[in-house]
Amino acid sequence: MKRVDDFRLRLGKQELVPIMVGGMGVDISTAELALEAARLGGIGHISDAMVPTVSDRRFNTKYVKNKLRQYKFNVANTEKAVVKFDLGLLAEATAMHVGRTMEAKRGEGMIFANCMEKLTMNDPRETLRVRLKAALDNGIDGVTLAAGLHLGSFGLIEEHPRFRDVKLGIIVSSLRALQLFLKKSARTNRLPDYVVIEGPLAGGHLGFGMDWAQYDLVSIVTEIREWMKAEKIDIPLIPAGGIFTGSDAVAFMEAGAAAVQVATRFTVSKECGLPEDVQQEYFKAGETDIVVNTISPTGYPMRMLKSSPAIGDGIRPNCEAYGYLLDAKGNCQYIEAYNREVALHPDAKKIKVWDKTCLCTQMRNFELWTCGHYTYRLKDTSRQDASGKYELLTAEHIFHDYQFSVDNKIALPTAPPA
């Protein structure tokens, strides 16, 4: 019976344990978590979502405070187009986040940045260019292009000296999305180094509509693999979404996958950025506590715990401080929803907004508890103490469980001496 450890992922000259810990914004997949995955010989992700905000928490910088001070005059204004990011400061924050992480890297694995195209930041092209360039300048091993089609992203960095040597991957949820990407980036004469195929059971935003339940990862991976074979394209395929045990991973690798991307099991690791009380909510969740809804202003469905405090919370949009989801015209679907409710309830002290959420603020404050479909199985991965609290796991424990387990077994943490 095979284990994940019987396989290796080859990326260029490097051989890796074929386990990639997926990006989880905003700072849920912390540098500490990514560093552990790399130390253990796999791949970890940091995220490029809201980096100035993350930098404030990590390095005690003051990007958010200063931006809010600069745009304070606009806080009560319903129009947000004036709120812009300073590209120099964005590059500086990214340089710090990526640079310090790469300096701390130990071991044979790699650290990639998960790059969200949907973070349009009131200037989609330039802010994305700055984020990608700063990540490459500061030694990131690879970039996974996520959330959005990224049709022009290769073009944004094709002049960079590291363009042909940095590992570049893309996340797709359909053959069509992959075909489109390859067609649009053909001009740069560079294929992605890997393709993550994310199915409908993943956490975060989904690359499906609300009919997500009609799709399944095995079928999508098979369709993509057969098409690539027919076209004689050889790119490592990395399935993601609902791969909960080492045996789940082995099944994909025996069918030709090069590695797997996993995330949900690491949400209850000590190195994960979620506060511990939120991690206990993840442990406790039952199957019916997990929902897919359309409250994200990105327009993509998102999976989350239905007890997330963000749901219904009608806070004033915080674009002057954050503003990461403002589109090229300075709009965000949450601003529209919020303004509508304020107009409907002019005398209310506090309003509720049910159809959209202020994603920046809620993710920043860990009030939107996004999670994978199998979060309800996390309780089977740990032990409870007498008070009912679950024990957090080390990333190493979870990583090794994926790497070495057989028979769909899940190793519990070792009990402390009696």
Ligand X SMILES: Cc1cc2nc3c(=O)[nH]c(=O)nc-3n(C[C@H](O)[C@H](O)[C@H](O)COP(=O)(O)O)c2cc1C
| 341 token code pair | 């409710």
Site string for ligand X, 95-114 (x = CB under 6 A): -------------------x
| DSSP 8-class letter at 196 | E
Give every CB contact of residue 399 below 8 A, 6+ residues apart in sequence: 19, 21, 36, 37, 40, 42
Nearest of 93, 108, 89, 84 to residue 11 by alpha carbon: 108
Query: Is the distance from CB of 364 to CB of 53 less than 8 angstroms?
Result: yes
Q: Which of residues 268-307 bind ligand X (CB under 6 A)?
A: none
C-alpha–C-alpha distance, residues 397 and 378, integer Å = 14
Q: Is 253 in the site for ligand X (CB under 6 A)?
A: no
Q: What are phi and psi of 157, to 5 degrees?
A: -120, 10
Min dist. Cβ of residue 244 to ligand X (A): 7
Q: Is 201 in the site for ligand X (CB under 6 A)?
A: yes
How many CA atoms does the CB half-sphere of 349 hold within 13 Å?
Answer: 0
Q: Which of residues 335-374 bind ligand X (CB under 6 A)?
A: 370-372, 374
Q: Is 51 in the site for ligand X (CB under 6 A)?
A: no
Scanning 77-85, 255-263, 285-293, 313-321 for contacts with ligand X by CB under 6 A, the matching segment is 255-263
Strands 352-353 and 237-240, sheet pairing: unpaired
Q: What are phi and psi of 143, to 5 degrees?
A: -130, 130
Query: Is the distance from CB of 398 to CB of 337 less than 8 angstroms?
Result: no
3-state secondary structure of 3: coil
Q: Which is nearer to ligand X, 135 or 202 (CB)?
A: 202
Site string for ligand X, 302-341 (x = CB under 6 A): ----------------------------------------
Q: Which of residues 20-49 bind ligand X (CB under 6 A)?
A: 22-25, 28, 47, 49
Min dist. Cβ of residue 13 to ligand X (A): 26
Q: Residues 109, 242, 301, 323: which binds ligand X (CB under 6 A)? A: 242
C-alpha–C-alpha distance, residues 281 and 279, integer Å = 5
Number of residues that bind ligand X (CB under 6 A): 30
Q: Is 198 in the site for ligand X (CB under 6 A)?
A: yes
C-alpha–C-alpha distance, residues 407 and 50, integer Å = 40
Query: Is the distance from CB of 193 to CB of 167 less than 8 angstroms?
Result: yes
Min dist. Cβ of residue 201 to ligand X (A): 6
Q: Is 169 in the site for ligand X (CB under 6 A)?
A: no
Min dist. Cβ of residue 415 to ligand X (A): 26
Q: Residues 43, 83, 240, 311: which binds ligand X (CB under 6 A)? A: 240
C-alpha–C-alpha distance, residues 97 and 107, integer Å = 19
Q: Which is nearer to ligand X, 68 or 197 (CB)?
A: 197
Q: Is 267 in the site for ligand X (CB under 6 A)?
A: yes
Residues that bind ligand X (CB under 6 A): 22-25, 28, 47, 49, 114, 116, 146-147, 171, 198, 201-204, 240-243, 261-264, 267, 370-372, 374
